[in-house]
Amino acid sequence: MTNKEISHQFKLLASLMELHQESPFKIRTYQNAVRTIEKFARPFKDMTPQEMLEIPGIGSAVGQKTSELLTTGHIKVLDQFIEKTPSGIIEMLGVKGLGPKKIEIIWRELGIENLGELLYACEENRLMLLKGFGQKTQDNIKAAILFFQDQKGQFLYAQVESLAHELDQMLKTASTENGQPANRIQMAGQFIRQLPVIEKLEWVTTLNETELRAVFTNPDVKKLYPAAAFIRTEDPGNPSLAWLEIHSDKLPDLSFTLMSTEQSKGVTCGEDSPIEHRMNQQAFLQNGSPAFIEAVLRKYAKPSFSDWYTQNGTFTPADLFKKLGIHFIPVPQREFPQILEKASKEILPPPIQTSDIKGIIHCHSRYSDGGQTLKEMALAAKEKGFEYLMISDHSKSAGYAGGLQPDRIVEQHAEIDQLNEQLAPFKIFKSIESDILRHGDLDYPPEILQSFDLVIASVHSVLKMDQNDATARLIKAIEHPFTHILGHMTGRLLLSRQGYPLDMEKILDACKQNNVVIELNANPRRLDIDWRHIGQALDRGIRISIDPDAHSIAGLDDIRYGVLVAQKAGVTPAQNLSSFSLQQMEQYISKNKIKINISFAGG
């Protein structure tokens, strides 16, 4: 064990002791030992315990623990601190600029236990509510977290979107040099499938390895994607097929399926050329989930997909499903085999587009933890062409987010009335994101809840639940007469926090029975409800609501990430609440209020 490795253990011990507010004297002792051990020329592993004690700055406590570490590989007291510290808190210590003092405050005051939660809190401006945390500190922490997370192997769709589009354009430009046709490369795989989490960016191409390597020596390409390694893999069963993987230290891997042109010498890559058809064939095989592709091959393409493809002549990708005898299935929906049965019987309805979103449901203002004023958010929504804004600030229990006390609700509603006179026909609706409390109650009594046009019920605290408790908690909230929308139903943060376990069948049945809409939270770190469950909701006749959960004007644009996920599930505008026009939304709210009044009158 090197001196550096030993010093790292004491650094971790000092940090954890500081997090747990142990004796400052002991903390300083171990902090000083870190510097002494790391800089000492002679290896500690070669010293006797007595020799260690003779070194200035190494007292009996440090000496004994160093001997323990070198003998057993562990420091008992360090193991004890690790055991009582959430793993996510320990991971935070690895983020540059985020020291134990800041982490301790964040952990104690906000209950945040991992980087994903912390990043989300930065986006909601929660850190600025803490003493000693200003805008600059929050921005620095956010930047440090993003830098840290970018070095991992999985990435949010939103994180790689710009890279994917820019790189794709550069590759297409490079492929057309020297008069070559433009269709020598096409994007495929996870990004085209619009998966919320991306591991690699994929292409199918007739560019060879030499040509691709040359592309990545281009200064502009190197700046965008500094390639660190190239790995080629051959297909032993197909000499005309190979893969080139390109790795970079801080970016997603790139994967190129290399289609050899040897079998098509003298033939251009035009629309009717064999190589073009083979590229389309390979792209099809990569533009669907393994289960979907397997179902296609098993049911339709016999004896083999390659033979079937060749026997059926020449056709473009758009003709492929026609040749299969089923209606076209968009790439994002090529996930579940069941879609094949549906497409064999009927034309799939056009999926929702961003232009189908008519209003913004679920956004925050400075009344709670938003970055802009109510008026600024409303004006921004209006300028973007939306017909209405559903302002949904946090409720009173969300003290960490400046949740609204009753007097603040009155103040906000008065401002909304005033702004509606100024901004007509654009309209601001009075909403609230009410915390679902520990046992499923909402955050306000009925007399306050009835003052809102729409209530979004969400869990923000006590997230550690088993399936029974979590399911019961949500169902009680769903059954509350004032709950209109179930917000970010599982509480997950992609790549950071798993959602609490739910009996999804029971939750969906409860939403159906109580006419509760399920939010598709469009924040790219949430995208909750998961797209794999949306179809189950739609089959029950439950409406979805694509909502940005915006905490800033920029956050309004997150709506498109929700749309991309909704497209995977085949959501249509008619099945989405935020596609309601202003008139439809007013009618929807009026009907809900009538039902609630009847319910209370009957009670």
According to the 3-state scheme, what is the secondary structure of 328-346? Answer: CCCHHHCCCCHHHHHHHHC
d(CA 548, CA 566): 13
The structure tokens listed for 353 are: 């587009």
Enumerate the β-bridge partners of residue 521: 528, 547
Can you give the three-state secondary structure of 425-450, one letter per residue? CCEEEEEEEEECCCCCCCCCCHHHHC
| Residue 181: band (very low, low, confident or very high) from pLDDT cuts 50, 70, 90 | low
Residue 269 is predicted with a pLDDT of 39
Greatest alpha-carbon span in the chain: 85
Question: What's the fold here for domain 359-579?
Answer: TIM Barrel (3.20.20)
Q: Is the pLDDT of residue 82 over 50?
A: yes
The structure tokens listed for 355 are: 């232009």
d(CA 18, CA 65): 18
Q: Is the pLDDT of residue 465 over 80?
A: yes
Q: How far apart, in Å, are the Cα atoms of 580 and each of 167, 396, 541, 572? A: 37, 29, 16, 12
Residue 36 is predicted with a pLDDT of 83
* CA 169 and chain centroid, separation: 25
Phi and psi torsions of 420, nearest 5°? -65, -30
d(CA 203, CA 209): 13
Average pLDDT, the chain: 90
The structure tokens listed for 40 are: 């000492």
Q: Which long-range contacts (CB under 8 A, 24 or more apart) does 181-184 make?
A: 181/268, 181/269, 181/270, 183/269, 183/270, 183/271, 183/276, 183/279, 184/269
Q: What is the CA radius of gyration of the chain?
A: 29
| Residue 179: band (very low, low, confident or very high) from pLDDT cuts 50, 70, 90 | low
HSE-CB at 138 with a 13 A cutoff on CA atoms is: 18
Q: Which residue has the higher pLDDT, 303 or 145?
A: 145
Q: Is the pLDDT of residue 140 over 80?
A: yes
pTM: 0.80
* CATH 3.20.20.140 in the chain, residue ranges: 359-579
Residue 271 is predicted with a pLDDT of 42
* 156-345 CATH, one of 3.90.420.10, 3.30.460.10, 3.40.50.10440, 3.10.20.580: 3.30.460.10
Q: Is the pLDDT of residue 511 over 60?
A: yes
* CATH 1.10.150.110 in the chain, residue ranges: 3-149
d(CA 52, CA 37): 10
- Which H or E element spans position 156? strand 155-156
Q: Mention every residue, 6+ apart, whose C-beta is less than 8 A from residue 378.
A: 389, 391, 419, 423, 426, 428
Q: Is the pLDDT of residue 57 over 90?
A: no
Region 471-478: mean pLDDT is: 98
CA-closest candidate to residue 518, choices 573, 561, 560, 458:
458
Q: Which residue has the higher pLDDT, 547 or 211?
A: 547
Q: Mention every residue, 6+ apart, whose C-beta is less than 8 A from residue 41.
A: none
d(CA 269, CA 29): 70
Q: How far apart, in Å, are the Cα atoms of 445 and each of 342, 396, 405, 484? A: 46, 12, 12, 16
Task: Please name the residue ranges forming H helices in 440-580.
Answer: 446-449, 467-478, 504-513, 531-539, 559-568
* CATH 3.30.460.10 in the chain, residue ranges: 156-345
The structure tokens listed for 492 are: 């997950």
d(CA 320, CA 234): 27
- Cis amide bond preceding 425, omega within 30: yes
CA-closest candidate to residue 579, choices 595, 592, 566:
566
pLDDT tens digit sequence for 262-314:
543 333 333 445 677 778 888 988 999 999 999 988 887 665 666 666 666 65
Tell me which residue has tokens 């559903």.
Answer: 390
* 3-149 CATH, one of 1.10.150.110, 3.40.1280.10, 1.10.1740.10, 3.40.50.2300: 1.10.150.110
CA-closest candidate to residue 85, choices 175, 160, 22:
22
Region 347-361: mean pLDDT is: 97
Region 519-529: mean pLDDT is: 97
Residue 280 is predicted with a pLDDT of 83
Residue 297 is predicted with a pLDDT of 84
Task: Determine contact, residues 245/188, Cβ cutoff 8 Å.
Answer: no
Task: Determine contact, residues 79/12, Cβ cutoff 8 Å.
Answer: no
- Which H or E element spans position 217? none
Residue 272 is predicted with a pLDDT of 45
Tell me which residue has tokens 């929702």.
Answer: 352
DSSP state of 555: G
DSSP state of 142: H
